[in-house]
Structure 1
Amino acid sequence: MAGIFSGGLDVEEACVHGHGVRYDDAYRAVHAEESSRWFPLHSKCNENFDFVPSWVNPAIVFFALLAAVGVLCLAAVGVAAPRTRKGR
């Protein structure tokens, strides 16, 4: 049970042991705000390696736009449906 709730590796351990790349503490300190932003997502070990794959940020934009289009379509149907019933 303790292993399940341990939270996994920290960033340095994940870089070195999980992915086999060099962890640059100075780079992370200078760019600390990047890993705490909501968008674009980044979690870098060093200047060359990012945990977040390159397809994730475009996918977030795509699905956000898809959700917005879905909401607009539902709103349009909600506005148009009462008008067509009254016209009959």
Structure 2
Amino acid sequence: MKPRNWAIAASISFLAMMLVYGYGASRMFSLDMRKECTYFLHQDYDPKYASAGEQFFPLSKKCNASYNMVPSFVNPSVVLFLGVTSLCAGAAVVAAVRRRRAVPLRVN
């Protein structure tokens, strides 16, 4: 495959990673945690877990001990897309080096 195709695949994977991360991060923000957990998510609000704060990697914000406001698919997807991005970027570099070496030099 051409280096450009690997670079495009890496770019798409990186964009997908950023979109999934952005979706997970958007689920963390609320103006009133008690109301968000109790009325909208139908979960018990435990201030002990809610006051523990939020984490940005892995994404996490808890209403109580058993409920996280960030969907469970977000963190594994971010790691998966990061791995695919790294592999595709590495393959692009390897393909570019091989292509560069395969071009014969013209000596006049």
State the TM-score, normalizing by the size of structure 2. 0.62
Alignment match, 2:78: 60
Question: RCO greater where, 1 or 2, for CA within 8 Å and sep 6 or more?
Answer: 2
* Alignment partner of 2:36 out of 2, 9, 14: 14
Q: Give percent identity, aligned residues only.
A: 29
Deviation, 1:10, is: 3.0
What are the superposed Cα offsets for residues 19-63 of structure 1, whole Å, 9 maximum, x if unpaired?
11111112222x22xx1x321111110111111122211111100
Provide the C-alpha distance between the structure 1 equivalents of 2:31 and 2:56, rounded to a whole number of angstroms: 21
- The runs of 4+ residues in structure 1 deviating greater than 4 Å are none
- The runs of 5 or more residues in structure 2 that have no matched partner are 1-28
Per the normalisation by structure 1, the TM-score is 0.74
In 1, Cα distance between the equivalents of 2:96 and 2:82?
Answer: 21
Residues in 2 aligned to 1:70 and 1:78: alpha-carbon distance in whole angstroms: 12
Question: Could you tell me which residue of structure 1 aligns to residue 61 of structure 2?
Answer: 43
Amino acid paired to 1:55: F
Aligned-partner residue type, residue 86 of structure 2: A
